[in-house]
Amino acid sequence: MGWLSIFRAVTVRLLFTCHGLISVWRLYVVTSDARYWYLAAALVLLLLEMAITVVKRSGREWKWFCPCVFIFLLSSVPAIWFLELRELNRRIRIRAAVNTSIEDFGDSLQDLHTSLGNVMGVPFELRIPIEMTSDQWIRTLEQILLLILILGRWLLPKGKLTHDQLSQLLLVYIGTAADIVEFFEAFKEETVRYNKILCISILGIWSLSLTQFTMVLTSAKARRDQSGILSRIQGKREKTNGCCAADVHGILISILLQDLPFLCLRLLLIFKYRVLSYTNMFFTSKNTLVIILLLYRLIVVYIERHTGEEVNHVAYDPTRHSRYLHSDTLSIPESYTGSSASKSQLLKSQVVNGSTVYGTQERIYQLRQEKHKWGRAYHFQEINSPM
């Protein structure tokens, strides 16, 4: 299992490195400026992080934060920023030259290639035989970045996440990626395509939304004991978590880093720039509904937590279980789903508390289990009592 974790950790980081190098390479091809290769220096940190993860942690990932994703974004996101700004300046120049709004005037298909020089008179060239327009290259790099983030999270060792939490986290990532791709639909609006402030705002919000992928959080709610009696350890955990449970973190991060900024920008397009297209109105309504539902979910979580605390407080009240202390059979409710050790401990405490009822007479009890169609019941039964 250790070697498999190391292999998966190395594979994901190689994928991140390839995308980062291709993004910087594309930027160098369109600008012919070798200084942009300095953006690839962040990938050196990725190799360093990989060495630490493999050697020191045996391929195990961090629990709450994913440094390899953060370093990957440090190299790819700036390259896409420069590509988008260069494309914006090209559109503005074309529009000023022809005094019209023709979108792709003079935009030809391009592939990705570079010369590696001559070795013994033989020219060497590295080429990716895919021909696209400059705008299509940018959109492809942006969408592949999201796909690699999802695939990388799937391939990375899950660490302390359970399989259920990992599957839910991947579903959350897919939904987040779909929303981010939809957000770039704003670039198709005529007002946005030639407005530098709006383009920079969109890129800034896009970069902010990508930071969600560095946080290993799941929107899934932690498993709770559905019984009326909880173990003491679990009760303490519920109290120490407070308002900082994983589901609350996930909701707040989704609102602050994605849905709220998306909604603000789309409302700005509607009320200030009069962008009343069908797609913009639809996605504005969608973001509004998502925020309302997330706030509703936050209220539900808050109510459930306070209800759970009340149940914990009542569950350990000895007076509520007094009816079990005056019979030869000491039992606990069928709905109790704690561990065997906690069941035994609870029943033993009931026997000790019931000793005052029976006086000083020594009694011997045996732990028994009964099966019902709705579950199981555990109880202590006095050996001398009739079956």
Tens digits of residue pLDDT in 277-310: 888 899 999 999 999 999 998 898 888 877 765 5
pTM of the predicted protein model: 0.69
**Separation of alpha carbons 156 and 164, rounded Å:** 15
Cβ(192)–Cβ(269) below 8 Å:
yes
Residue 200, pLDDT score: 95
> What pLDDT score was predicted for residue 371?
65
Look at residue 355 in the predicted model and tell me its pLDDT: 41
Cβ contacts of 261-267, under 8 Å, gap ≥ 24: 261/205, 261/208, 261/209, 262/179, 262/183, 262/205, 262/209, 262/287, 263/287, 263/288, 263/291, 265/186, 265/201, 265/202, 265/205, 266/186
φ/ψ (deg, to 5) at 71? -65, -40
Q: Residue 376: what pLDDT?
A: 63
Q: What is the DSSP letter of 259?
A: I
Query: Which of 315, 180, 337, 162 has its CA nearest to residue 246?
Result: 162
Is residue 91 a contact partner of residue 194, using CB atoms and an 8 Å limit? yes
Instruction: State the pLDDT at residue 229.
Output: 35
Q: Which amino acid is at 155?
A: L
Q: Quote the pLDDT of residue 222.
A: 35
d(CA 185, CA 256): 21
At 232 the pLDDT is: 37
* Cα 109 to Cα 131: distance, rounded to the nearest angstrom: 5
Q: What is the largest CA-CA distance in the chain?
A: 105
Of the candidates 259, 261, 159, 262, which has an alpha carbon nearest to the alpha carbon of residue 218? 159
Q: CA nearest 58: which of 20, 97, 6?
A: 6
> What is the pLDDT, as a whole number, of residue 124?
65
* Residues 83, 94: Cα–Cα separation, whole Å: 17
Between CA 182 and CA 185 the distance in angstroms is 5
- Token match 């969109």: residue? 202
The whole-angstrom separation of Cα 370 and Cα 237 is 30
Please give the torsion angle defined by the CA atoms of residues 16, 19, 24 and 28, in that order, rounded to the nearest 10 degrees: 160
- CA angle, 160 as apex, 157 and 162 as ends, to 5°? 85
The pairing of strands 365-372 and 375-382 is antiparallel
Which regions of the chain are under pLDDT 70? 1, 59, 99-107, 113-124, 159-160, 217-246, 308-387
